[in-house]
Amino acid sequence: DSGVTQTPKHLITATGQRVTLRCSPRSGDLSVYWYQQSLDQGLQFLIQYYNGEERAKGNILERFSAQQFPDLHSELNLSSLELGDSALYFCASSPGQVSYEQYFGPGTRLTVT
């Protein structure tokens, strides 16, 4: 158990809908990272937040957004969903702003039908 929690575990929704994925980092960690893992694209870094502020952006679509709240939990919002957004979404956390040792949650499996 990494100490990172993600909810929900599974999510099934229709195209065009909007969903919110939630992540609680390990106690004491200030950075949260979001990743998308799909069969065709592999593991893709989406975005990092550090202590409430966006720190780094990866391959995140404009339809996706994230935020980190004062209690350090984070939410990833996915809107106007397409079939291709079906994937496993991971959250990871780490103590610092520039941290290589990331602790991953179990993931949220999103299925868009």
Partner 1 sequence: AQSVTQPDIHITVSEGASLELRCNYSYGATPYLFWYVQSPGQGLQLLLKYFSGDTLVQGIKGFEAEFKRSQSSFNLRKPSVHWSDAAEYFCAVAAVDSNYQLIWGAGTKLIIKP
Compute the half-sphere exposure of residue 59: CA atoms within 13 Å on the CB side of its CA. 9
Rounded to the nearest 5°, which phi and psi values hold at 72?
A: 80, -5
- Is 43 one of the binding residues for partner 1 (CB under 8 A)? yes
**Measured from the CB atom, is 13 or 44 closer to partner 1?**
44
Among 26, 45, 73, 75, binds partner 1 (CB under 8 A): 45
**Measured from the CB atom, is 7 or 17 closer to partner 1?**
7
Handedness of CA 98, 92, 20, 14 (dihedral sign): positive
**Minimum distance, C-beta of residue 9 to partner 1, in the bound complex (Å):** 10
Of 46-65, binders to partner 1 (CB under 8 A) are 48, 56, 58
Tell me the C-alpha distance between 41 and 87, whole Å: 10
Q: Which of 79, 95, 70 is nearest to 21 (CA)?
A: 79
Among 32, 66, 85, 105, binds partner 1 (CB under 8 A): 105
Sole window of 11-19, 61-69, 78-86, 105-113 interacting with partner 1 (rule: CB under 8 A) = 105-113
Tell me the C-alpha distance between 67 and 51, whole Å: 10
Site string for partner 1, 68-97 (x = CB under 8 A): ----------------------x-x-----
